[in-house]
Amino acid sequence: MSVKTFGDVSSLFQKTFQIDKPQTNRPKIVFINLMDNALGTEKHFLNILKKASPDAEVILCRMACNHKDPRYFNEQNYLNSDRYQDWQTVIGNTYADQVIVSGINRGLLSYDDMKNDYKDFWDECCTLFRKLQHATRNGQVGHATLICWAAFAAMKDLYEVEKDIHAEKFYGLFPHKIPSSDHPLVKGTQGSEILIPQSRYSYMESSHLKDVIDYHQGTVAMDGPDGPAIWTLEQQRISCIINHPEYSIDTLHKEYEFGKSKEGDDFAPPRNYDVQNINCAKHRETFAELEEFCTVFYRNLINHALEARPNASLPYKRSDEENSRPDIVLRQDFQRG
């Protein structure tokens, strides 16, 4: 897998731009990093994508508002480095098979709070969601995947689905059911039920959400403890994920310790998860199964995106130059703020 980074990208701002059509089966993935801990999130998702599709080209993008106000992003300088570029220089200017938008730790804030306290960020997010909706419809993007907060916010902006906020953090290990093993995002998985972490304050009313999914030509790929956890929209060209199959065995424990440091010892522990013995045999088995599922799931996402390509592609073969490149060293540790 290669990661494409950029120096000066000012020349890419043009009023007209010819969309380049993919010529090989090598997936082109755009990862838009919203998270406060940008470096840890980047490395974690690159590790997932490398397992799912070793030959993929990954383009790293940031929000343009990152340049304006450091309170939007804790690691502002890192996101402003040449490793990243503004998403506006990519989406709609070059064909992308898959666009992935990460979450961000803003679940305790209402949408009105976001509009008032993080106006530039909220406005740009809405522009991004609408651009992705347009790009998946007109063939500029094969598939868009929105994770956690981004999924909630897009449902509000694009489809007017409101959210409510739990009194305390809703997190832990929960059983999830797969309604149909034929769904393109979960095909190849074993069984119809799996334990997957949830970690959020927000929730949407389940029956209304299902009605909206159905109305906008989507399907539920996985049901969680309080409604859909993974679903598609727009003829399965957009996916929303509000659970966390990418979590490591210790991520919930780190979130618990972080919560206690902020709110005191009364901060509730994650449900169905033993914070005193995270490496017990039961957890090791659960997260080994989860790691396998996560690889299959993201491989399905990428393959599903490839099926949307606007023209037939040649089989991808690695060049001698690519075969000689060392693999990217990806750090395994990952902690959410």
Q: What is the 3-state secondary structure of 206-267?
A: HHHHHHHHHHCCCCEEEEECCEEEEEEECCCCEEEECCCCCCCCCHHHHHHHHHHHHHCCCC
Q: pLDDT (tens digit, 9 = 90+) per residue, 128-169?
A: 999 999 999 999 999 999 999 999 999 999 999 999 999 999
Q: Report the candidate in 19, 87, 53 with the shortest Cα–Cα distance to residue 304.
A: 53
Please, which pLDDT band fits residue 75 given cuts at 50, 70 and 90? confident
Type of residue found at 149 = W
Residue 326: Cβ within 10 Å count? 5
Q: Residue 337 above 90 pLDDT?
A: no
- Is residue 330 assigned to a domain? no
- Is residue 294 assigned to a domain? yes
- Is residue 337 assigned to a domain? no
Task: Tell me whether residue 228 is exposed, middle or buried, using C-beta atoms within 10 angstroms of its C-beta: 0 to 12, 13 to 18, 19 or more.
Answer: buried
Residue corresponding to tokens 């949407």: 204
Please, which pLDDT band fits residue 63 given cuts at 50, 70 and 90? very high
Q: Lowest mean pLDDT: which of 8-17, 71-80, 171-180? A: 8-17
Please calculate the CA angle 148-154-160 and round it to the nearest 5 degrees: 125
Q: How many domains does the chain have?
A: 1
Q: Residue 102 above 90 pLDDT?
A: yes
Q: Residue 55 above 70 pLDDT?
A: yes
Please, which pLDDT band fits residue 37 given cuts at 50, 70 and 90? confident
Q: Which helix H or strand E contains 299, and what residues bound it?
A: helix 281-306
- Is residue 332 assigned to a domain? no
Q: pLDDT (tens digit, 9 = 90+) per residue, 269-301?
A: 999 999 999 999 999 999 999 999 999 999 999
Q: Which residue has the higher pLDDT, 108 or 227?
A: 227
Task: Supply the pLDDT for residue 112.
Answer: 95
Q: Lowest mean pLDDT: which of 62-76, 99-113, 188-202, 223-237? A: 62-76
CATH code of residue 231: 3.40.50.880
Task: Supply the pLDDT for residue 25.
Answer: 76
Span between the terminal Cα atoms of the chain, in Å = 27
Provide the 3-class DSSP secondary structure of residue 168: strand
- Is residue 327 assigned to a domain? no
- Is residue 232 assigned to a domain? yes
Number of helical (H) and strand (E) elements in the chain, helices listed first: 9, 11
Q: Residue 316 above 60 pLDDT?
A: no
Q: Residue 286 is part of which domain span? A: 2-7+21-318
- Is residue 247 assigned to a domain? yes
Q: Residue 202 above 60 pLDDT?
A: yes
- Is residue 324 assigned to a domain? no
